[in-house]
Amino acid sequence: MFDTLSDRLAATFKSLRGKGRLSEEDIDATCREIRIALLEADVALAAVRPFIAAVKQRAMGSEVSQALNPAQQVVKIVNEELVGILGGQTRRLRFAKQPPTVIMLAGLQGAGKTTLAGKLGRWLKSQGHAPVLVAADLQRPNAVTQLQVVGERAGVPVYAPEPGNGVGDPVAVAKSSIEFAKSKMHDVVVIDTAGRLGIDEELMRQAADIRDAVGPQEILFVLDAMIGQDAVTTAQAFLDGVGFDGVVLTKLDGDARGGAALSVAQLTGRQVMFASNGEKLEDFDVFHPDRMASRILGMGDMLTLIEQAEKAFDAEQAEEMARKLMGGDGFTLDDFLAQMEQIRKMGSLSKIMGMLPGMGEMKQQLAQVDDREIDRVQAMIRSMTPQERRDPKILNGSRRARIAKGSGVHVSAVNNLLERFAEAQKMMKSMGRGGMPSLPGMPGFGAGGGRRMSAKAKANAQAARQKNKSRSGNPAKRKADEAAKAERAANGGAQPEVPQNFELPDEFKKMLGGGQ
């Protein structure tokens, strides 16, 4: 969504590189370009003016004039001001002291309230809560049925005493849902309310009546991020008519310019709390202003990437992989497939790679990443026999032709897979020998998933490694090995530290290079 804005800002900052000092003309020109970029991204003019004024004032100050790298200092200033315009600190949900906590969703029709109710319910369930969804939209055709379907997919119960389609009193449904939640031990109630195609008096009155009947702890305004500057007008109308505590942005994966996200918090004083960036129920997360600002400026979002990795990767499987590598048991195609499947759980490959720093300049390449490649790899590996997965060296021409036919690909695709696997196997062997430090958040990379191996697992791995280690036939090398072993014993068995100027193995660099 922010591609246009990111590209314009990147071009603006690029023009500052190589300058030892920034003149007043340089700063004026930079602020002018940033202003144009924000306006082209549909950011409201009332939000742009104070933003540019703050950036210009700080850029003219001593923090830039005394900086060793003025261009980087300007980027830092813009980043900090972006965090401010997006709301500053991350805003969390307020929960009631005595359950249930009531969360009311409000917004225009088509903003995605019903789907968002399911996403929010699923997220609350993953946080250890017991939510219930309430079908209080009794006007839109099949709104009740849609919420029931979404609730079933999300694994969250739905309270729907009325059939909807114009039948029933939404205020009565919302009020009775509180007693229902108490009787069924639900600690969070998410109320899906009706919307309209535009702001009108009936919509505001019904939403206000529901608010007065249930006294929600949080009223979340659901806003379509693709409506541009109209977002501010709509948000202000709801704020005046009903009031709300936070904003949820939907359709952040669209191709709009993203002005809503940069305008609403600044002009309404209500922070964006959640963001929906896809059609799947799991495409939903807490909105972090600092992380969003980092993405807009092309600096990636490593914290979100690490959090997604921790959710997707299985700790036991990662520890087992680490034990195999340290014990020298080998890296098989089954392991290769298991790791690819765990990466798949994190989401699309283009989204994952887009969170890496510096990937903003590779948008065209990211757009060409095909997630179906993992499906083809899975089909090829599953077309192999258990013996072939353990020992790919036995795959001769006829076996490769059979695998290609069974998985619906050309033989060249099987050959390409085996070449990539061979590179991965070399890298894993290097890591198993201690030739590479652990990579937190990735299964099978060192301690795996950022978690430390248990003492028992370490002892077993060490024993397996010692068992598989043979004595060298070269007397000089054997003497050197024994001397190194004695030195380690004298140091309490401590392993040598990884040098600061550590270089990645060539095999790993080849893998990162593509291997197409």
Spatial separation of the C-alpha atoms in residues 220 and 113, rounded to whole Å: 10
Q: Is 324 marked as a binding-site residue? A: no
* Displacement of CA 400 from its chain's centroid (Å): 37
Q: Is 250 marked as a binding-site residue? A: yes
Q: Is 254 marked as a binding-site residue? A: no
Spatial separation of the C-alpha atoms in residues 14 and 29, rounded to whole Å: 13
Handedness of CA 360, 363, 367, 371 (dihedral sign): negative
Which two three-digit tokens encode residue 175? 């009020």
Q: Is 107 marked as a binding-site residue? A: yes
Helix residue spans in 282-410 (DSSP H): 289-296, 302-312, 315-327, 333-344, 349-354, 363-367, 372-382, 386-390, 397-407
Q: Is 108 marked as a binding-site residue? A: yes
Which two three-digit tokens encode residue 319? 């520890």
Q: Is 367 marked as a binding-site residue? A: no
* Displacement of CA 480 from its chain's centroid (Å): 48
Spatial separation of the C-alpha atoms in residues 33 and 30, rounded to whole Å: 5
DSSP state of 126: H
Q: Is 327 marked as a binding-site residue? A: no
Q: Is 193 marked as a binding-site residue? A: yes
Q: Is 249 marked as a binding-site residue? A: no
Q: Is 495 marked as a binding-site residue? A: no
Q: Is 112 marked as a binding-site residue? A: yes
Nearest to 291 by CA among 279, 300, 278: 300
Handedness of CA 268, 233, 239, 172 (dihedral sign): negative
Nearest to 420 by CA among 304, 516, 332: 516
Handedness of CA 252, 256, 260, 263 (dihedral sign): positive
Q: Is 426 marked as a binding-site residue? A: no
Q: Is 425 marked as a binding-site residue? A: no
Which two three-digit tokens encode residue 193? 């309310």
Residue 223 near residue 247 (C-beta atoms within 8 A): yes
Nearest to 153 by CA among 284, 340, 339: 284
Q: Is 337 marked as a binding-site residue? A: no
Q: Is 252 marked as a binding-site residue? A: yes
Spatial separation of the C-alpha atoms in residues 216 and 101, rounded to whole Å: 7
Which residue numbers belong to the known binding site?
107-114, 192-196, 250-253
Binding site per annotation, positions for GTP: 107-114, 192-196, 250-253
